[in-house]
Structure formats: structure tokens, C-alpha cells
């Protein structure tokens, strides 16, 4: 099967490309190599994918001629490209263009792909709001520009299904971590601090925040399980994550235990847009996708530590 991945040089996109290639699919990708974080890391990911004969096209979904650029025989699209996080350095306009305008242009271009079997949007639990412990029927109440624009992007994709233009679904991911995680994410920062003896920047009140920390392996398992299930996935929003819940404090303690060190804390003022709790309810994923996350927190963090130290 010929599969297109957007954001292919990023954390989730690169792992997804490797898995699909290993499953004998023909994979091509798009990435604009944005400077949200060190572009060198994305270039390294892209170079590794090229070694597998995975074609990586440097394109900007917001500006380039997508109808001309996209291969006409693409059968699946996994849309992972987005401006992530709640960084104070990112403006609303940047979230709007990267997450909404880019998605709109891609969904329009996808309508011209005659062999398209399904468009899979890679969404986020951030669209639910501040305190998340719910199934997919819960009304979305995002509290950050990231969450607001990702909800809009999701609806653009789902509207194509509702209009009957092509099958589409959206996967809402929960607190993904593992090798190649973005440098600004929690476990990347913690491991870096442990290695270099630096203090970890902790936002006030966040020690008690709760998350369904989900290893990248379990997330990719869920994403690829949509293939061949167009009939059951079309029009569906599906949570992907572990149903185990951990506090930020437990995350810190896990890194300290595995790396046999104590990490100092640099307390920062509370951050606007932070969620208090995101616990994945995955009954729907289990039913539709036979989804069964397996990687425990210590095992997953150890994998990331091993990668980081290399």
C-alpha cells in the first residue's frame, strides 16, 4: 500500500514511517522542517528514513502546490504535521496557519486522490480541556491555542467524511514519550538534566498533574491498526493511550530511579493552558482496533534513556 505521512521527520511521524516500512508498505513523507525545535534533529530523522529508501519531500502544507506534489496513487494519509505544545514563544497566528490552514489545504488536495482509502488525522487529548477523564463523546473544551486549533483541524478532516468525499477518522493521542521525543517535552528534559547535572524547570503546581504517559511503541501500534479497518473507523474519533495514570512527581521519580540520581528543581510560575489531568479512556480503541498498550512506565523510560545516551 502507498502511504503518505505529513510531519514525517518529527517524533511520531518518523516512528510511524519506520513501522509502516517494516510492514512492507511504500512510504513517502512531507515535512517543512520548522524551527520549533532544533532542525538538526529532524534532519537526522529524515536522513535515517532515506537510508530505508523512504522518500522525504520538503514541503510546506500552508504554501506549496499540494495537488501537484502529492502522488496520485496514495491510498492512505496519516496527518501528523502540526505546531505542538503550549510554548509562550508561539503566537496564535502560528498555531492557526500550521494547524488549521495547513490541514484545510491538505484535506482539499486529498479529495483529488482517486485511490485514497482513508485519511487519518493525528489529534490530541489537549482538545478535551483542563481535566480529562472521559470517552470520545465528551464535549471538547480546549484551554490553549494548541488545543483550539487542533480541534478545528480535526473537524476539517471529519467534515470530509461527513460530506462523503472520502473516509476519515481522528486519533486523539495521550502524553506520548520515548526515543526521539521533542527536546521540550518532560522526559527529554528530565533525562538531559540527569545526565548533565542541571535543574529541571518545573511549573508551579504541576507535581500533582496526572497523565497517561504512553510509550511511542503503543501509540504506533494503535495508529497502524487503522489500516484495513476503513469501514469501522470512518467518521470515528478514537482515543489512543494507556489507561494507567501517573503524576508528574512519579515521572520524575522514575527517571531518578533508573538513572540513580537526584534531579534538582527550578520552580517556575504556573503555565497558562496546562491540563490538570489527562487519563485515557480507551474502550472504543479496544473494541474497534483491538488496541492493547503493553509498555509500562519504567520499561518505556528506560528505552528513552538508552536512546538519549547514545
Summarize pLDDT for 99-136 with one digit per residue, the tens: 999 999 999 999 999 999 999 999 999 999 988 888 99
- 146: annotated active-site residue: yes
Give the span between the Cα atoms of 108 and 117, in whole angstroms.
15
**Are both 31 and 140 inside the same structural domain?**
yes
As given in the structure block, the three cell numbers for residue 110 are: 486529498
Half-sphere exposure of 203 (CA within 13 A, CB side): 14
Predicted confidence band at 41 (pLDDT cuts at 50, 70, 90)?
very high
Could you tell me which of 206, 144, 132 has the C-alpha nearest to residue 174? 132
Give the span between the Cα atoms of 151 and 174, in whole angstroms.
15
pLDDT of 3 above 80 = yes
**Are both 145 and 222 inside the same structural domain?**
yes
Give the span between the Cα atoms of 279 and 135, in whole angstroms.
10
Query: What integer is the mean pLDDT of 137-154?
Result: 95
Which is the catalytic residue, given 36, 76, 95, 146? Answer: 146
Write down the pLDDT at residue 147.
Answer: 96
Write down the pLDDT at residue 206.
Answer: 78
Summarize pLDDT for 237-262 with one digit per residue, the tens: 999 999 999 999 999 999 999 999 99
28 falls within a domain:
yes
Write down the pLDDT at residue 271.
Answer: 66
Write down the pLDDT at residue 12.
Answer: 98
What is the domain-level CATH number for residue 152? 3.40.50.720
Write down the pLDDT at residue 253.
Answer: 97
| Number of structural domains the chain divides into | 2
Write down the pLDDT at residue 134.
Answer: 86
| Residue carrying C-alpha cell 510546506 | 60
87 falls within a domain:
yes
Mean pLDDT value across the chain: 95
Summarize pLDDT for 49-82 with one digit per residue, the tens: 999 999 999 999 999 999 999 999 999 999 999 9
User: Domain limits at 34?
Assistant: 2-174+213-240
**Are both 163 and 184 inside the same structural domain?**
no
Of 276 and 237, the structure prediction assigns the larger pLDDT to 237
**Are both 81 and 222 inside the same structural domain?**
yes
**Are both 168 and 194 inside the same structural domain?**
no
Lowest mean pLDDT among 19-28, 61-70, 81-90: 81-90
Inter-residue contact 239 to 172 (CB < 8 Å): yes
290 falls within a domain:
no
**Are both 143 and 198 inside the same structural domain?**
no
pLDDT of 17 above 70 = yes
Give the span between the Cα atoms of 218 and 105, in whole angstroms.
30
pLDDT of 273 above 70 = no
**Are both 113 and 6 inside the same structural domain?**
yes
**Are both 123 and 198 inside the same structural domain?**
no
198 falls within a domain:
yes
Query: What integer is the mean pLDDT of 198-212?
Result: 88
288 falls within a domain:
no
Beta-strand (E) ranges in 209-304? 210-211, 214-215, 237-240, 246-247, 265-268, 277-280
Query: What integer is the mean pLDDT of 291-310?
Result: 97
**Are both 193 and 61 inside the same structural domain?**
no
Could you tell me which of 184, 172, 170, 199 has the C-alpha nearest to residue 282? 172
SS3 assignment for 33-71? CCCCCCHHHHHHHHHHHHCCCCEEEECCCCCCCHHHHCC
137 falls within a domain:
yes
231 falls within a domain:
yes
Q: Other C-beta atoms within 10 Å of 89: how many?
A: 7
**Are both 121 and 233 inside the same structural domain?**
yes
**Are both 164 and 202 inside the same structural domain?**
no
**Are both 73 and 218 inside the same structural domain?**
yes
Amino acid at each position: 500500500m502507498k502511504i503518505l505521512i505529513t510531519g514525517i521527520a518529527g517524533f511520531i511521524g518518523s516512528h510511524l514511517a519506520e513501522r509502516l516500512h517494516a510492514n512492507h508498505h511504500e512510504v513517502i513523507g512531507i515535512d517543512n522542517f520548522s524551527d520549533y525545535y532544533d532542525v538538526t534533529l529532524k534532519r537526522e530523522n529524515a536522513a535515517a528514513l532515506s537510508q530505508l529508501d523512504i522518500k522525504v519531500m520538503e514541503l510546506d502544507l500552508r504554501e506549496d502546490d499540494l495537488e501537484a506534489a502529492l502522488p496520485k496513487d496514495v491510498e492512505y494519509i496519516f496527518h501528523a504535521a502540526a505546531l505542538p505544545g503550549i510554548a509562550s514563544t508561539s503566537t496564535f497566528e502560528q498555531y492557526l496557519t500550521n494547524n488549521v490552514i495547513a490541514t484545510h489545504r491538505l484535506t482539499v488536495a486529498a479529495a483529488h486522490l482517486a485511490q485514497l482509502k482513508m485519511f487519518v488525522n493525528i489529534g490530541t487529548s489537549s482538545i478535551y480541556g483542563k481535566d480529562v477523564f472521559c470517552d470520545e463523546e465528551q464535549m471538547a473544551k480546549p484551554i490553549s491555542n494548541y488545543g483550539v486549533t487542533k480541534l478545528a483541524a480535526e473537524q476539517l478532516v471529519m467534515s470530509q467524511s461527513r460530506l462523503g468525499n472520502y473516509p476519515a477518522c481522528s486519533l486523539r493521542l495521550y502524553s506520548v514519550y520515548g526515543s526521539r521525543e521533542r527536546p521540550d517535552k518532560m522526559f527529554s528534559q528530565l533525562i538531559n538534566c540527569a545526565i548533565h547535572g542541571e535543574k529541571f524547570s518545573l511549573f508551579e503546581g504541576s507535581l500533582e498533574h496526572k497523565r497517561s504517559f504512553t510509550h511511542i511503541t503503543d501509540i504506533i501500534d494503535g495508529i497502524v491498526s487503522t489500516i484495513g479497518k476503513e469501514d469501522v473507523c470512518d467518521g470515528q474519533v478514537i482515543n489512543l493511550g494507556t489507561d494507567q495514570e501517573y503524576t508528574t512527581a512519579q515521572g520524575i521519580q522514575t527517571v531518578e530511579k533508573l538513572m540513580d540520581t537526584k534531579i534538582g528543581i527550578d520552580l517556575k510560575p504556573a503555565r497558562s493552558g496546562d491540563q490538570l489531568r489527562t487519563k485515557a479512556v480507551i474502550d472504543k480503541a479496544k473494541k474497534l482496533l483491538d488496541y492493547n498498550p503493553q509498555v509500562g512506565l519504567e520499561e518505556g523510560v528506560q528505552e528513552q534513556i538508552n536512546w538519549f545516551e547514545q
